[in-house]
Amino acid sequence: MADKKRSFRLGRTPRTFDPRVPHMSALLAGKQPAPPPPSVDYTKGMPQNLGMMLNDTLGDCTCAAVYHAIQVWTFNASQGKSMDTEPDADVEKLYELACGYKPSQGGEGPGGNEQHVLTYLLRKGAPSTSGVNKIAAFVEVDPRITDDVKRTINDCGVAYIGFQVPANIMPANAEPPAVWTVDPSHPKIVGGHAVVLAGYNANGARVISWGSYYTMAWDFFAKYVDEVYAIADQTWVESKGTTPGGLTMQQLEQQMQALRDSQPNAAAA
C-alpha cells in the first residue's frame, strides 16, 4: 500500500520591529567573542521523524518550530536519553493563544508573527503536558552576520529563523528538496516560513521543518532569511551553561524587563 502523500504548509507573516527586543550586535559591541566552531550538529542521534506538529494542515510553522526547538533542547540536555515531544493539541493551543487561530473557523488559520510568538513564550510559556514551557529571553540576531548566527546555534542549541520561501523548495505535488539552494529559474516567493536551525557546517545550516531535516545552503540563507533569534531556554542553559551573547541569566532578564513588563498587545497577549 502506497504511503499517504504528505502536505506542507507555511504560515509566517511579515516580520515586525519591536524596539524592546534586544539585539545581539548591541550586546556584543566592544567585545571580541571567540570565533564559532567550524561545525556543530545538535540533531545527531535524534529520531528521523520529529512529527509535523500540525504544519501539514495549519499555517502554524511559528509554533511548530517552537516545539521542534524543545525537542532539540531536551534531547541534548539529557545526552540523548530522553526527548520531549509534546502532543499536537499543545501545538494547536499555542497557535490559538499566540497567533489568534480559531479552530471553529477551520482552514489554515491566520499564520503567525515570530516576535509575537516569542513574546508570548516569554510572558506565558508554551503549553505542555507538564504545564507551560517559558523561555528566559530572546535576542534578535542580524542575519547578515553569519558568525553571530553560528554562535547562536552553538550557544543556544537552535536559531529560530524566518525567511521568504522561493518556489523551488515547494514543488507542486512533491517533497521539498533535501538541500535548499538559490535557483534563479524559480524566483517567485510563495510565502513565509519559520524553522529552527540546529546545526551548521561549511556547506550550510541544519534545518528542522515539517518534522524532517534539510540543509539550507549559506547562499540561500543570505538571500531569503530576514529574521533570526537566539533563545535562552532554561533547560539548555542549566545543562550546557551557554547563553545568547554569553550574558548571565540576570543580565538577560534585565534585557527582557521592558518587554516582559509592558502591556501585551492583542496578538501577543
Over 60: is that where the pLDDT of 264 sits? Answer: no
Residue 28 has pLDDT above 50, yes or no: yes
Q: Which secondary-structure segment (H or E) carries 197?
A: strand 189-200
Q: Report the 10 Å Cβ neighbour count for 213.
A: 18
Distance from C-alpha of 95 to C-alpha of 32, rounded to nearest angstrom: 39
What is the pTM (predicted TM-score) of this model?
A: 0.95
pLDDT of residue 30: 87
How far is residue 66 from each of residues 2, 73, 95, 117, 173, measured CA to CA in Å? 31, 11, 11, 9, 27
Spell out the domain ranges in the chain: 37-261
pLDDT for the residue 167:
96
| Res. 267: pLDDT tops 50 | no
Predicted confidence (pLDDT) at residue 265 exceeds the cutoff of 60 = no
Range with lowest mean pLDDT among 59-68, 77-86, 165-174, 225-234: 165-174
Judge residue 203's burial from the number of C-beta atoms within 10 Å of its C-beta, 0-12 exposed, 13-18 middle, 19 or more buried.
exposed
* pLDDT attached to residue 101: 98
State mean pLDDT over 127-151: 96
The pLDDT-based confidence of 246 (bands split at 50, 70, 90) is: very high
pLDDT given for residue 5 in this prediction:
74
Which residues on adjacent β-strands are paired with residue 217? 204
What CATH fold (topology level) applies to the domain 37-261? Cathepsin B; Chain A (3.90.70)
Dump pLDDT digits (tens) for 58-77: 999 999 999 999 999 999 99
First to last CA, the chain: 46
